[in-house]
Structure 1
């Protein structure tokens, strides 16, 4: 069920960026990091291993997973910058790079800033989070979560970083989008791998999963009604809820038919996450119904129409890029 979860989280980010629904999208990004920490540790241990060949195949498959879709969206965005410059100007980050460093950052998704989303231009604005992801993929492939002891040390250091931000530099950005802010959810995900390994459970009712996801939504929804202290605590409640939900989802039993559907639904998560601003440009250019002036924000009445645009675009990405890339990834994995 991780595929469905990933796509729901990507939709939450769209609701934040396009429809101004606060917090849920931010918490979904942290959720993504925790899920990545778990899954990357899992597949390194269970599939790729720590040999040179395993390292090479792991990274070849990561590159195939991330870059064909990203570069396609990047190229289309560049075209739209020239076709609809007055619309593109509504987003401060979407510009043609001027320098070699800017081009390198936009082509690789490695944005050279401690807080990657502060780097401009970003032709694909949401790609900043992939800078964080790539760093921790690298650390995991090098063995930061190879043993339980290493993983726990990583977790302790991550907690120390968060404590340090309150003492020395109390700015929320350094607990959300800064590169090292991602360390805590990634480390929690890696710890979860060891909990799953030593403490599996046999039966998980679907109702329990729905309940935990509801708590995740409610915690995000009510954050702005909390006191300042509770607002901070809600960040860690979110991570704990994500931790529990991933643990439960890993153990749920579903039929092979639903597994295939879950895999297919999951294929939409990455294109949705990367392309929703690009699709907003197209929507404003051709429909423009329910759009606020001078930005990409939309009223709720635009949701079904914009949602249809987004689905069609992502369907084409999945159909003509992702499915073919997955076949190639399977062949690469067989070389292990």
Structure 2
């Protein structure tokens, strides 16, 4: 039951990008690492339960990941291009402008090497590049054996401890691929822990702790970012572990379907509102942007994702049988997510 959580995380990203506020606002940073944890869990789960690690299974896994990420990405880029070309969108976000070289076009269309350097037609897609790297690494290496997954996790924790001890800046701890490993590996080990039973009070308690952590560390002075950031990894992993035991509802699925389009389209929608209505970044822009962002996301899902989902369902046949019988409560098609 990840749909509500995914749309909440997407809106946290939107909130950080559009709502300037006094003090700290790292809600999007926290949310992106939570997405990474969810990705680590889901990719490890689906590889072991649905695809397997033989050649045909990996082919289907990588095909479906490609179909999930790129069609919606390209649709948002296509929608954005005329506005980026003819309106001063870069005044709203300095990274949004037309690529000037073939390599920059390639990076934006394929996500290959799409990190922080400009231009980025869709600014948050740098995190999709991180996701793609770990999709590949998890499929080829990290999800193959339990001991490999746990070794990866402990190595990632050790590297994170080194970053903290050495005083690495927070940008490196957030944007870099090596620093993101602790989030993906934290999610991956949840697959092997998922049969552990939890009491009924655990889920509401973790939700409350997660919310308090998100709120509290955004009110304290800057310089206390790291405590909440890494505590967020622990709490997000615990929440994902808890939510994995709940059956999704129809509304939960609808909410989850909108998460990725919201993640992709909010910048261009907000930029258009800013240009035509002269509303600057702040609470007003955030609130006014939500309805058109959700509407456009619904259109993207209906016109693009539903069609690609039908193809993905055909690709993901049920020929693979896991070595051990597992719970059948998990949905037949893997819930999708943004990074």
Alignment TM-score, normalising by the size of structure 1: 0.88
The correspondence for 2:296, drawn from 310, 313, 332, is 313
Instruction: Rate the CA distance shift 1:261–1:6 in 2: closer, same or farther, 3 A.
Output: same
SS at match of 1:268: helix
> Which one of the candidate residues 78, 83, 86 is aligned to 1:83?
86
2:331 maps to what in 1?
Answer: none
User: How big is the shift at 1:51?
Assistant: 0.6
In the TM superposition, what are the counterparts of 1:95-174 in structure 2 within 5 Å? 95-111=97-113, 116=115, 118-168=116-166, 170-174=168-172
Instruction: Work out the CA distance in 1 between the residues paired with 2:61 and 2:165.
Output: 38
Deviation, structure 1 residue 162: 1.5
CA-to-partner distance for each residue in 1:47-99, whole Å, 9 max, x for gaps?
00001000110011101100000011112222111231x23332111111112
Q: Label 1:238 to 1:329 Cα distance change in 2 as closer, same or farther (>3 A).
A: same
Report the counterpart of residue 18 of structure 1 in structure 2. 18
Q: Which aligned pairs between 1:15-94 and structure 2 lie closer than 5 A?
A: 15-20=15-20, 22-84=25-87, 86-94=88-96
Using the alignment, how far apart are the partners of 2:298 and 2:219 within structure 1? 38
Cα root mean square deviation, aligned: 2.0
Equivalent position to 1:200, from 196, 201, 206: 196
Q: Of the candidates 208, 214, 222, which is equivalent to residue 220 of structure 1?
A: 214
Superposed, 1:234-245 pairs within 5 Å as: 234-245=228-239
Q: Is the helix fraction higher in 1 or 2?
A: 1
Mapped to 2, the partners of 1:265 and 1:42 lie a distance apart of 21
Map of 1:279 onto structure 2:
269
CA distance in 2, matches of 1:225, 1:126: 24
Instruction: Give 1:33 deviation, angstroms.
Output: 0.4
Deviations for 1:119-168, whole angstroms, at most 9, x for unmatched residues? Answer: 11111000000111001100111031222211121112212222332344
Contact 1:204 1:248 in 2 (8 A): no
Q: Which structure 2 residue ranges, 5 or more long, are not aligned?
A: 320-339
How far apart are 1:335 and its partner, in Å? Answer: 7.3
C-alpha distance in 2, partners of 1:125/1:302? 18
1:211 lines up with 2:205 in the alignment:
yes
- Distance in 2 between the 1:328 and 1:168 partners? 47
Check 1:304–1:175 CA distance in 2 against 1; reply closer, same or farther (3 A cut).
closer
Q: Which runs of 5+ in 1 are unaligned?
A: none
CA separation of 1:236 and 1:71: change in aligned 2, threshold 3 A? same
Secondary structure of the corresponding residue to residue 226 of structure 2? helix
Output the CA distance in 2 between the equivalents of 1:102 and 1:231.
33
Residues 243-289 of structure 1: per-residue CA shift (max 9 Å, x gap): 110111111245xxx2x32222111010101111011122224434x
Give the Cα separation in 2 of the matches to 1:44 and 1:105.
27
The number of equivalent residue pairs is: 316
